[in-house]
Amino acid sequence: MITEFKVNGMHCNSCVALIKMELVENKGVKEVKGNFQKGTINVNFDEKRTTIKELANGIEKTGYKILK
């Protein structure tokens, strides 16, 4: 499954890399792509191994806010 998060506060590729490093620690995550200019993080994940809530918590753990 692929989900997209709108993330507030990303202003460079390092921001995307920080979020990606956090999310790939989750065993259910297959791939993470981000675009700081659009403020988006796309996550390809196995919904049997993780949840959207866990992914969102991972993003917020890095200090960024998910926009609803």
As for how many domains the chain has, the answer is 1
Beta-carbon contacts of 48 under 8 Å, excluding residues fewer than 6 positions away, are 28
CA dihedral 37, 13, 33, 26 (to 10 degrees): -130
| Structure-token pair, residue 41 | 């993080």
Distance CA(43)–CA(24), nearest Å, equals: 10
pTM of the model: 0.94
List the domain range (segments joined by +) for residue 41.
2-67
Specify the CATH number for the domain of residue 50: 3.30.70.100
CA quadruple 6, 11, 12, 14: dihedral sign: negative
Express the helix, strand and coil content of the chain in percent, nearest 5 each.
Answer: 30, 35, 35
pLDDT 10s digits, 7-22: 999 999 999 999 999 9
Per-residue pLDDT tens over the stretch 17-57? 999 999 999 999 999 999 999 999 999 999 999 999 999 99
